[in-house]
C-alpha cells in the first residue's frame, strides 16, 4: 500500500491522479491534499477520500509535505513556486513523483544535491517514456535521447505566419488538455525546451545528445537510442494516467490504467524535424541549460511573465520568446547558487521582462 500526498490536487494532473487512486483502493491510500486556491474543490476531494491533512497555497503545501507520513509525494503544482515542496519531499525522504518540471529546472543542482538515486520519478509523459526505455540498457550504452513534440497548434507554420496568432488559437492544442501556461508553452515550444533541460538533469545526458523531433500523433512519447543502433520507444494513446500511475508506484505498472493501442486498425505515425527558425525556444533552452546557475530560473520566470502579457493583449505571440531571449541575455548570475539567489534572480527576471514588455 503506497501512502500518497497529491499537491496541485484540483488541477489536470491532480484530478487524474485521484482517478488512479480511486480505482485502486487496495494499492494506494491518499493521506494528503494541497490545492492552489480552489477551496471548494479541495474540500470535496478531502471529504470523498477521508483525508484530514489538507493545505491551500504553496507555503502550506510545503509544510504539509514535511508533516504528513507518506511514501510518495506527487508534485503537480504549476510553476517554480513548487520548488519548496520539491525540496521538502526530497529532504523528508519521500519518493517524488515530479509533474512540476519547473522546480527541477529552476532548482537545478540544488534539487539534484537533495535527491538520492532514484528518488525522483518523472511524471511528464516524455520523461516517463525515457525512464521506461532506459531500462533496456546501461547508462553508458545510451547514444542519445529523442524527445517527441506534438508540434502544438502551429505545427508547419513558418515564422512569418505566426505574427498574428491569437491567445485563443494558442490554446487550441491538438492533443492535450492542459492549463493556460503549459498550453501556451506547447504552442511556442518553450515547454519542449524546458523538457530538454529536465531530461538533462534527470538522466545525466549531454545537451548535444538530446534531440527534439515533431511527432503530431503523440503516440510515441519519447525514445532512447543506444550505441548499437537500437532505438527503444514507449508508445501508447495520449493519456496522462499512465505516467501518473508509474509515478505513484515506480517501477510497477498499474493494470487497466490506460487503454492500449488498437493494432487491428490501420494507422500512420510520422516524425518531422523541428523548425528552429519558427520555434527557436528549444535552441535557447539548450543554451540556458548549458549556462546553468540561475539562467534556467530566469528563462522560466521571463516566460511566465511573457505568457501573461500575451494573453492580456500586451505582447504578440512571437514576442514571448523574444522577451525571454532579451532577459536571458541581460542576466548576470550570482557567484553562489542558493534558494535566496534563485528567488532574487526570478524577481529580477520578472521585473526585467515586465519592463521590456511595457516598452
**CATH number for the domain that contains residue 93:** 3.40.50.720
Task: Mention every residue, 6+ apart, whose C-beta is less than 8 A from residue 299.
Answer: 193, 284, 285, 288, 324, 327, 328, 349
105 with 147, same domain: the answer is no
Q: C-alpha grid cell for residue 341?
A: 539567489
Round the average pLDDT of the chain to a whole number and report it: 94
| Grid cell 477521508 in the structure block, residue | 50
Q: C-alpha grid cell for residue 328?
A: 536571458
205 with 303, same domain: the answer is yes
Nearest to 346 by CA among 285, 290, 299: 299
Q: What CATH number did the domain enclosing 164 receive? A: 1.10.1740.10
173 with 293, same domain: the answer is yes
The confidence score (pLDDT) of residue 177 equals 61
User: Distance between CA atoms of 17 and 20, rounded to whole angstroms?
Assistant: 5
What number is the average pLDDT over the span 60-86? 94
262 inside domain: no
Per the structure, the count of domains in the chain is 2
145 with 101, same domain: the answer is no
The confidence score (pLDDT) of residue 171 equals 87
> pLDDT of 166-211, one tens digit each?
999 998 877 666 678 888 998 999 999 999 999 999 999 999 999 9
Q: What percent of the chain has pLDDT over 70?
A: 99
Contact 311, 167 (CB under 8 A): yes
Helix/strand/coil for 94: coil
226 inside domain: no
Supply the Cα-derived Rg of the chain in whole angstroms: 20
44 with 98, same domain: the answer is yes
The confidence score (pLDDT) of residue 125 equals 94
88 with 162, same domain: the answer is no
The confidence score (pLDDT) of residue 179 equals 72
Residue 31 burial class via C-beta count within 10 angstroms: exposed 0-12, middle 13-18, buried 19 and up:
buried
Per-residue pLDDT for 74 more than 70?
yes
Query: The domain containing residue 7 runs over which residues?
Result: 2-123+240-249
pTM of the full structure: 0.93
User: Distance between CA atoms of 111 and 96, rounded to whole angstroms?
Assistant: 11
The confidence score (pLDDT) of residue 180 equals 82
User: Distance between CA atoms of 94 and 162, rounded to whole angstroms?
Assistant: 44
Q: What percent of the chain has pLDDT over 90?
A: 89
What number is the average pLDDT over the span 40-61? 95
Instruction: Using pLDDT thresholds of 50, 70 and 90, give the confidence band for residue 152.
Output: confident
More confident residue, 359 or 115: 115
20 with 95, same domain: the answer is yes
29 with 146, same domain: the answer is no
10 inside domain: yes
114 with 138, same domain: the answer is no
Contact 215, 146 (CB under 8 A): no
Per-residue pLDDT for 78 more than 90?
no
Contact 49, 21 (CB under 8 A): yes
230 inside domain: no
143 inside domain: yes
Contact 134, 142 (CB under 8 A): yes
Per-residue pLDDT for 7 more than 90?
yes
User: Distance between CA atoms of 356 and 76, rounded to whole angstroms?
Assistant: 30
Total residues found in the chain within this entry: 359
User: Distance between CA atoms of 79 and 77, rounded to whole angstroms?
Assistant: 7
> pLDDT of 305-327, one tens digit each?
999 999 999 999 999 999 999 99
Amino acid at each position: 500500500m503506497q501512502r500518497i500526498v497529491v499537491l496541485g490536487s484540483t488541477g489536470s494532473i491532480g484530478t487524474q491522479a485521484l482517478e488512479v487512486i480511486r480505482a485502486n483502493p487496495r494499492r494506494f491510500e491518499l493521506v494528503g491534499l494541497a490545492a492552489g486556491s480552489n477551496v471548494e474543490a479541495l474540500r470535496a476531494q478531502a471529504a470523498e477520500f477521508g483525508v484530514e491533512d489538507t493545505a491551500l497555497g504553496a507555503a502550506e503545501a510545503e509544510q504539509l509535505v514535511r508533516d504528513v507520513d507518506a511514501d510518495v509525494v506527487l508534485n503537480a503544482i504549476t510553476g517554480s513556486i513548487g520548488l519548496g515542496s520539491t525540496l521538502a519531499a526530497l529532504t523528508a525522504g519521500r519518493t517524488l513523483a515530479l509533474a512540476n518540471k519547473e522546480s527541477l529546472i529552476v532548482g537545478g543542482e540544488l534539487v539534484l544535491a537533495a535527491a538520492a538515486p532514484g528518488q525522483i520519478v518523472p511524471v511528464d509523459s516524455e520523461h516517463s517514456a525515457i525512464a521506461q526505455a532506459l531500462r533496456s540498457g546501461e547508462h553508458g550504452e545510451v547514444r542519445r535521447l529523442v524527445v517527441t513534440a506534438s508540434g502544438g497548434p502551429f505545427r508547419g507554420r513558418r515564422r512569418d505566419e505566426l505574427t498574428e496568432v491569437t491567445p485563443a488559437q494558442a490554446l487550441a492544442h491538438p492533443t492535450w488538455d492542459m492549463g493556460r501556461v503549459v498550453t501556451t508553452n506547447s504552442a511556442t515550444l518553450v515547454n519542449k525546451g524546458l523538457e530538454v533541460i529536465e531530461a538533462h538533469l534527470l538522466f545525466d545526458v549531454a545537451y548535444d545528445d538530446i534531440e527534439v523531433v515533431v511527432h503530431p500523433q503523440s503516440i510515441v512519447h519519447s525514445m532512447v537510442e543506444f550505441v548499437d543502433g537500437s532505438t527503444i520507444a514507449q508508445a501508447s494513446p495520449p493519456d496522462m494516467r499512465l505516467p501518473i500511475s508509474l509515478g505513484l508506484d515506480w517501477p510497477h505498472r498499474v493494470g487497466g490504467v490506460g487503454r492500449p493501442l488498437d493494432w487491428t486498425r490501420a494507422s500512420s505515425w510520422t516524425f518531422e524535424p523541428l523548425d528552429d527558425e519558427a520555434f527557436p525556444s528549444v535552441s535557447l533552452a539548450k543554451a540556458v541549460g548549458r549556462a546553468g546557475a540561475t539562467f534556467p530560473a530566469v528563462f522560466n520566470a521571463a516566460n511566465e511573465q511573457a505568457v501573461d502579457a500575451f494573453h492580456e493583449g500586451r505582447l504578440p505571440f512571437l514576442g514571448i520568446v523574444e522577451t525571454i531571449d532579451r532577459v536571458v541575455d541581460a542576466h548576470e548570475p550570482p557567484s553562489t547558487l542558493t534558494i535566496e539567489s534563485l528567488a532574487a534572480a526570478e524577481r529580477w527576471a520578472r521585473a526585467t521582462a515586465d519592463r521590456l514588455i511595457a516598452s
